[in-house]
Amino acid sequence: MIAAGCDVGSLTTKAVILNNTRLLGHALIGSSFNPEKSAAEVMEKALAAAHLTMDDIGFCVGTGYGRERIGFVKKTISEISCHAKGAHFLQPSMRTIIDIGGQDCKAIRLDEKGEIVKFMTNDKCASGTGRFLEVMAKLLGLELEELGRISGQTTQPINLAATCTVWAQAEVIMHLNDGMSKADLAAGINEAMAARIAILARSVGIEKDVCMTGGVAKNTGVIQAMEKQLGIPMRRLRVDPQMMGALGAAVFARERMGGR
């Protein structure tokens, strides 16, 4: 009953190897321009971590933007369904999932069975995506992973008036030139991100428990700002939130093999 899931996203590619409820191995790499190559590379790493070969995999499901280009999967499923499946698999009480990827953001509401009741996607503007944080971190001369940590040192978060990434860049540059601290700017950037995402999340109807998936879920500043915006705590998942799509794909694969 060994199943696998492969998630080829716009910025990262992930793979998970699952045996019933036990995670045997997983891997994450940066996505290349060639989805087939990225998928093959990440699956090789995940299999190596699990001490298995592809011949040991009974069923594999693909998801993400590049899912139709994965040569070794037997079925493809949307990333919305896979993130919902992965989060509900880890925490059956989960009802609202906010997935922030590199180029889009999704809000998903589930029922008690884990079925999707409603979802909304923002893929028209970069301001609610991981790309927005990448641009802002570069402006501040920080690594992306530092935005959450440094924002905790703020004394007075800046209020970014612009909602567009391009105009927000100009605003941040202006504040930097005025001597504004990086901590205050980082906190303002995270709060601006959370405010945009909260609008999308409310559109599906927030129900507890709530969690975030995707790479941005590793940013503690955005998590804390989201909790403030929504007025409810966010559940932390026991698996890397960036792996959620691949995990959900592996759970779907296990179900196709007859696993409960």
Q: For 177-235, what is each residue's pLDDT tens digit?
A: 998 899 999 999 999 889 989 999 999 999 999 999 998 998 999 999 999 999 999 99
Q: 23 in helix, strand or coil?
A: strand
Instruction: Name the percent of the chain in helix, strand, coil, to the closest 5.
Output: 45, 20, 35
Centroid of chain to Cα 52: 27
4 pLDDT above the threshold of 90: yes
260 pLDDT above the threshold of 60: no
Between these two residues, 131 and 66, which has the higher pLDDT value? 66
Q: Are 20 and 253 in contact (CB under 8 A)?
A: no
The secondary structure element, H or E, covering residue 82 is: helix 79-90
- Give the model's pLDDT for residue 164: 73
- Give the model's pLDDT for residue 126: 65
Domains of the chain, start order: 1-91+238-260 (3.30.420.40), 93-236 (3.30.420.40)
114 pLDDT above the threshold of 80: yes
- Name the band, by pLDDT with cuts 50, 70 and 90, for residue 127: low
- Give the model's pLDDT for residue 231: 94
- Give the model's pLDDT for residue 191: 92
Between these two residues, 150 and 167, which has the higher pLDDT value? 150
- Give the model's pLDDT for residue 123: 63
125 pLDDT above the threshold of 80: no
Q: 158 in helix, strand or coil?
A: coil
- Give the model's pLDDT for residue 145: 81
Between these two residues, 205 and 20, which has the higher pLDDT value? 205
Q: Are 25 and 83 in contact (CB under 8 A)?
A: no
The tens digit of pLDDT for each residue in 155-174 reads: 888 888 766 777 788 889 99
- Give the model's pLDDT for residue 163: 67
- Give the model's pLDDT for residue 47: 98
| Strand order across the beta sheet in which 12-19 lies | 22-30, 12-19, 2-8, 59-63, 75-76
